[in-house]
Every structure is written in structure tokens, then in C-alpha cells.
Amino acid sequence: MTRHRIFTTSFASVYPLYVAKAEKKGRTRGEVDQIIRWLTGFSQDEFDSQLAAKTDFETFFAQARLNPARTAITGLVCGVRVEEVEDPLMREIRYLDKLIDELAKGKAMGKILRG
């Protein structure tokens, strides 16, 4: 089975796209960072180090302390139900995509962070 190319893509190369999507809808880089820190358990310094190292998605999520509440994230991203994604790494990436989508759609941070 061929691995998806996103797994070996640098997280730092995709991060500006997450920020741009949020900012286009009036949200902030800080909110994007807050979502990523909530999902991954990284401190801001740890997250900044991941970006500076141009860590790929596979390593990024392997080094994360994933939030157990992330399994409450459900719904569609790119026409796929995130909770039904079979590949564990792809599911983590889709969780993040879904959180960024919710931010861009104006959802309150408390609800995005399943608080």
C-alpha cells in the first residue's frame, strides 16, 4: 500500500495555509496555534521548534501528546467522515483539518476545543 504524500510533507509548509484560511474569515494565527496546541499537547515553544525543524506530518504527530478529547471530533472534511478514517495518522490530520474548518466557520473556541 502506498503511503499518502501528506505524511512526508513538512507541517511548516501547510501551517501558513491553516493560518490563511482562518485569517480570511477574521480569525487569528493565535487561535490556530491554540487549536494545534490543544490537539497535540505541544507548548508554544515546542510547536515553534516543530515549525523551525520543518518536521513532517508523521513525525509531528508521533511526537505529540495527543488530546484524548480529540475523539469527540466528528463530521465531514473533504467529503469524508473524520471518525471513519481508517489510517490512524490520516485521522489525526483530518481532526486538525476539521478543527481549522470549525474556526473558519466562526465557531466559538470553547466549542472547537470540546470544552
pTM, 2 dp:
0.94
Q: What percent of the chain has pLDDT over 70?
A: 97
The residue-averaged pLDDT of 37-47 equals 98
Q: What does the pLDDT read at residue 4?
A: 86
Residue 70 lies in a domain: yes
Q: Cα dist. 68→5, 92, 95 in Å?
A: 26, 12, 12
Residue 80 lies in a domain: yes
**Residue 2 in this model has a pLDDT that exceeds 80:** no
Residue 46 lies in a domain: yes
For the chain, give the mean pLDDT.
95
Residue 95 lies in a domain: yes
The residue-averaged pLDDT of 52-67 equals 98
Enclosing domain of residue 33: 5-110
How many domains is the chain partitioned into structurally? 1
Q: What percent of the chain has pLDDT over 90?
A: 92
Residue 115 lies in a domain: no
